[in-house]
């Protein structure tokens, strides 16, 4: 797989040997990483208006002294960082049921220790791809909302009726304006929203 531009893998584990081994493995696969020796240290980063701006994921140990990996996962959910920041749990055999439950709640996957280097890197690359897709979708959604916010009240009124399938004449009658005025507002709505038809506009709004 080609290197993922600006990717970052966050390694959160209180075992120094595990952190170092994972960081070395990722360097050998040209995947940049940042390491944290506790969930509290990682939380200090993500709790301060942290935004995922490039494909990223977290390797999160389930059992750690202090704040557990599962508790950290709950914080990531509360911060709204999933799914742009997928979580792969690193777990011992005894923790597998807990990790499975976390996957059901939105974690990307779990890898049982000792794990296969190749299998782990494959899942990391897939998680980074998932993050990139989520970031692109979030960016598009934000862009659509910004365009919608740019509409005037009259343009919004026209848009609602146009999306509802009304022809210009009926839109004009309902809003008590001329057909020509409807045409002008309709054209502005299409231009601002970046669409060419009422069907395209309806599909765009459905995805907001």
Q: How confident is the model at residue 140 (pLDDT cuts 50, 70, 90)?
A: confident
Q: How confident is the model at residue 143 (pLDDT cuts 50, 70, 90)?
A: confident
Question: Which residues on adjacent β-strands are paired with residue 80?
Answer: none
Give the length of the chain: 208
Is the predicted pLDDT of residue 2 greater than 90, yes or no? Answer: no
Q: Looking at residue 126, which CATH number applies to its domain?
A: 3.40.50.2300
- Between residues 130 and 49, the one the model is more confident about: 130
Domains held by the chain: number: 2
**Residue % of the chain over a pLDDT of 70:** 98
The pLDDT value given to residue 75? 97
Is the predicted pLDDT of residue 196 greater than 90, yes or no? Answer: yes
CA 47, 48, 52, 58: dihedral to nearest 10 degrees? -40
Measured N-to-C along each axis, helices 168-175 and 153-163 cross at an angle, to the nearest 10 degrees, of: 130
Mean pLDDT of the chain: 92
166 and 139 within one domain: no
The pLDDT value given to residue 205? 87
115 and 162 within one domain: no
165 and 128 within one domain: no
């Amino acid at each position: 797989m080609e290197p993922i531009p600006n990717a970052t893998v966050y390694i959160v584990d209180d075992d120094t040997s595990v952190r170092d081994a994972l960081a070395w493995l990722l360097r050998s696969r040209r995947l940049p990483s940042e390491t944290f020796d506790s969930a509290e240290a990682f939380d200090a980063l993500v709790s301060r208006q942290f935004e995922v701006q490039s494909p990223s994921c977290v390797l999160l140990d389930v059992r750690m002294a202090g704040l557990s990996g599962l508790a950290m996962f709950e914080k990531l959910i509360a911060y709204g960082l999933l799914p742009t920041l997928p979580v792969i749990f690193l777990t011992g055999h005894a923790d597998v049921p807990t990790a499975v439950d976390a996957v059901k709640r939105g974690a990307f996957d779990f890898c049982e220790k000792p794990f296969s280097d190749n299998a782990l890197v494959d899942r990391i690359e897939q998680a980074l791809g998932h993050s990139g897709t989520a970031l692109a979708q979030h960016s598009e959604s934000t862009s659509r909302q910004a365009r919608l916010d740019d509409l005037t009240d009259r343009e919004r009124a026209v848009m609602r009726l146009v999306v509802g399938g009304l022809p210009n004449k009926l839109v004009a009658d309902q809003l008590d304006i001329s057909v020509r005025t409807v045409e002008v507002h309709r054209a502005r709505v299409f231009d601002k929203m970046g669409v060419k038809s009422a069907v395209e506009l309806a599909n765009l709004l459905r995805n907001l």
